[in-house]
């Protein structure tokens, strides 16, 4: 068990881009539990934006750095944890450096981009005796939490199929692609680690594994690229068979919006169906023709995950998703990519339509 932290958790943020801004809302909301001590980014403007976000909320300005290794060295003994919000290919080295410094870790998805890196991370975190939490914020969606509760209670009987999806038009809404430069590091396989599936598609993937609660036994995928000017896929459909016999599907895209009438999650089971998105859940028992509807209070999932991270550090609890789950999601995506090897984009660049 990782050591507990008594009192306020002192945090250094590695990577100060837009996703760090979402995390900072949690640090602001729970300023009685967290104190941001350091900010790191190679872009001064990113540091300024995040500093302004903190100070305009009445919090102290953190120290600014442009190199995370120097930050960890200079803040040694002054911080308890790091929040890693870097491009994908930098997650593994930052995690390893933080573990070596004896710091607890919250890391944006994906945990890393290769399974051998995941094993390095597992070994480093175990040896350091620190807490690692995968920032799988969508686990805190009300519909996901309630659906998980219902599945685990046995109310639905045997689970037949699970669908988890997330689709939207990335970039501008027009039919032609954005310039490749607009995609920054996400355009390159070496820095992105893949395409849409390892990025936005990571969310429906970990939601699927969370709800299934069973090891994966088979993965088959189809991938394509319809409108995004990147090396990897912009659309993927992944079929999964779980060890308990449940069938699963991940449907995810940056090329088009959610198919009309569908939801983030859909469960078909022996005694009925559950489906919904965000804070609205529907339940259709077998034999009924109209579903019951339940609306939950809205939840900012980034803020909710920061509350959970604080509880884990201050109470010595295991995070809802740690290294094992982070690795399992990466393994699912890796198997999906392997099964879809040889796929070709729908059209060459530039798209004519």
Is the peptide bond prior to 332 cis by the omega test (within 30 degrees of 0)? no
Q: Helix count (H) and strand count (E) of the chain?
A: 10, 14
Tens digits of per-residue pLDDT, 250-309?
999 999 999 999 999 999 999 999 999 999 999 999 999 999 999 999 999 999 999 999
Superfamily covering domain 139-298+332-339: Dihydrodipicolinate Reductase; domain 2 (3.30.360.10)
Q: Which long-range contacts (CB under 8 A, 24 or more apart) does 239-244 make?
A: 240/208, 240/212, 240/216, 240/332, 241/216, 241/217, 242/212, 242/214, 242/215, 242/216, 242/217, 243/214, 243/215, 243/216, 243/217, 244/159, 244/212, 244/214
**pLDDT for position 84:** 98
Cross-strand bridge partners of residue 280: 277, 295
Give just the sign of the alpha carbon dihedral 45, 50, 322, 137.
negative
| Rounded Cα distance, 146 and 282, in Å | 11
Neighbours of 48 (CB within 10 A): 14
Domain ranges of the chain: 9-130, 139-298+332-339
Tens digits of per-residue pLDDT, 174-190?
777 788 999 999 999 99
Fold for domain 9-130? Rossmann fold (3.40.50)
| Rounded Cα distance, 281 and 211, in Å | 15
Tell me whether domains 9-130 and 139-298+332-339 share a fold: no
Please say if the pLDDT value at position 351 is more than 50: no
Average pLDDT along the chain: 95
Report, as an integer, the average pLDDT of 88-96: 98
Longest dimension (CA), the chain: 64
User: Of 122, 141, 134, which is closest to residue 202 (Cα–Cα)?
Assistant: 134
Tens digits of per-residue pLDDT, 313-347?
999 999 999 999 999 999 999 999 999 998 877 75
Please say if the pLDDT value at position 172 is more than 80: no
Those residues whose C-beta lies under 8 Å from the C-beta of residue 43, and which sit 6 or more positions away, are 16, 17
**pLDDT for position 2:** 72
Do the strands 247-253 and 235-242 form a parallel or antiparallel pair, or are they unpaired? antiparallel
DSSP string, 215-253: -EEEEEEEEE-SS--SSS-SEEEEEEEETTS-EEEEEEE
Burial state string for 304-333 with b = 16 or more CB within 10 A and e = fewer than 16:
bbbebbbebbeeeeebbbbbebbbbbbebb
**pLDDT for position 1:** 59
Please say if the pLDDT value at position 352 is more than 60: no
**Percentage with pLDDT > 70 across the chain:** 97
Q: Would you say 290 and 174 are in contact if contact means Cβ atoms under 8 Å apart?
A: no
Is the peptide bond prior to 110 cis by the omega test (within 30 degrees of 0)? yes
The predicted model scores a pTM of 0.95
Strand order in the sheet with 81-84: 63-65, 34-40, 9-14, 81-84, 104-108, 132-135
Q: Would you say 30 and 61 are in contact if contact means Cβ atoms under 8 Å apart?
A: no
| Rounded Cα distance, 237 and 224, in Å | 9
CA 342 to chain centre: 27
Please say if the pLDDT value at position 168 is more than 70: yes
**pLDDT for position 342:** 84
Expressed in angstroms, the distance from the first to the final Cα of the chain is 56
């Amino acid at each position: 068990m990782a050591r507990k932290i008594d009192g306020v958790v002192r945090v250094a943020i590695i990577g100060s881009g837009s996703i760090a801004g979402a995390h900072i809302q949690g640090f602001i909301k729970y300023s009685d539990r967290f104190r941001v001590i350091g900010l790191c980014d190679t872009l001064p403007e990113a540091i300024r934006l995040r500093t302004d976000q903190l100070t305009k909320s009445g919090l102290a300005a953190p120290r600014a750095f442009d190199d995370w290794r120097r930050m960890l060295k200079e803040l040694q003994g002054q911080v308890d944890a790091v929040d890693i919000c870097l491009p994908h290919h930098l997650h593994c080295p930052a995690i390893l450096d933080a573990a070596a410094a004896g710091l607890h870790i919250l890391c944006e998805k994906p945990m890393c981009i290769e399974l051998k890196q995941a094993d390095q991370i597992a070994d480093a975190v175990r040896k350091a005796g620190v807490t690692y939490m995968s920032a799988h914020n969508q686990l805190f969606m009300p519909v996901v939490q309630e659906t998980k509760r219902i599945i685990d209670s046995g109310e639905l009987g045997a689970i037949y199929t699970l669908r988890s999806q997330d689709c939207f038009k990335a970039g501008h809404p027009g039919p032609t692609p954005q310039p490749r430069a607009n995609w920054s590091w996400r355009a390159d396989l070496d820095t992105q680690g893949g395409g849409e599936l390892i990025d936005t598609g990571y969310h429906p993937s970990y939601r699927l594994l969370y709800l299934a609660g069973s090891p994966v036994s088979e993965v088959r995928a189809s991938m394509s690229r319809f409108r995004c000017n990147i090396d990897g896929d912009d659309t993927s459909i992944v079929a999964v068979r779980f060890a308990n016999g449940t069938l699963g599907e991940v449907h995810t895209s940056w090329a088009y919006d959610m198919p009309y009438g569908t939801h983030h999650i859909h469960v078909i089971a022996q005694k009925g169906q559950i489906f919904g998105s965000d804070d609205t859940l529907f339940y259709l028992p077998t034999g009924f023709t109209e579903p019951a509807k339940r609306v939950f209070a809205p939840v900012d999932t980034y803020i909710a995950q920061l509350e959970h991270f604080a509880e884990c550090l201050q109470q010595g609890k295991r995070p809802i998703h740690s290294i094992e789950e982070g690795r399992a999601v990466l393994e699912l995506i890796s198997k999906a990519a392997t099964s879809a090897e040889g796929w070709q984009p729908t059209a060459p660049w530039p798209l004519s339509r």
